[in-house]
Amino acid sequence: MGWSGHSLPLTRLESPRSEAAVDRTLRSLLPGHIAKIAPPGWGRTARQWLDFGADSLVEMHMPNTPPSDAPLDDLTFWFYTTVSWPSSLAHHWIRHVIADEGRFTIRELLQAHGYRLAPGDNLADVSTRFVTEGSRIAAVTADGVIWQGDRMATESDAALSPETLALVRAVRADGVCRCSACWEAGDLAS
């Protein structure tokens, strides 16, 4: 058990605001943004990952370290490292909201706080791709899937419905994620 940190380097613009100010704003907005890109039924789960309370699974600075009054050099997310929650899915969606050009990004918000994302974020180094089946989400593996949730369940290709298997094969063929965030956001295939 422990924490794994993933950083997005920031370029400071004019009058960058403090870590505490950025932290406050992201805390208030990020859970709602994640809920908007998640499939039905996942909004509350996503909020729980990100509620930043005592049992939070994601923290925006080193856990138990109060945000400082100094400007930031990067935006670091700390993920609680245990297999019993879908951390790669949380990672995927946070990256989508923070770093992508999707429908609910917070780029403008960062800019309003005096920052721009710099190249080279390691939140982008995520190879996990997902498929959605109704309100269920699964990570695609080489020969099956891992259903995401409080109980992570592995299933082989042979056990999947024909529709889901077709999606899984499409993801393996083109490497494009079919989760609700990526797929509806449009042309990630390009």
C-alpha dihedral, 43 to 47 to 49 to 52, nearest 10°? 170
Q: What does the per-residue mask of binding to Zn ion show for 129-168, with x meaning CB under 5 A? A: ----------------------------------------
Q: Report the residue number, 57 or 148, with the smaller CB distance to Zn ion.
A: 148
- Site residues for Zn ion, window 170-189 (CB under 5 A)? 177, 179, 181-182
Of 123, 93, 95, 97, nearest to 109 by C-alpha is 97
CB of 110 to Zn ion, least distance (A): 21
Cα–Cα distance measured from residue 47 to residue 10, given in angstroms and rounded to the nearest whole number = 25
Q: Which is nearer to Zn ion, 127 or 161 (CB)?
A: 127
- Looking at the Cβ atoms of 50 and 171, the one nearer to Zn ion is 171
Q: Segment 33-62, which members bind Zn ion (CB under 5 A)?
A: none
Give how far Cα 88 sits from Cα of 80, 132, 147, 173, 187, Å: 11, 15, 12, 21, 22
C-alpha–C-alpha distance, residues 50 and 90, integer Å: 9
Binding site for Zn ion (CB under 5 A): 177, 179, 181-182
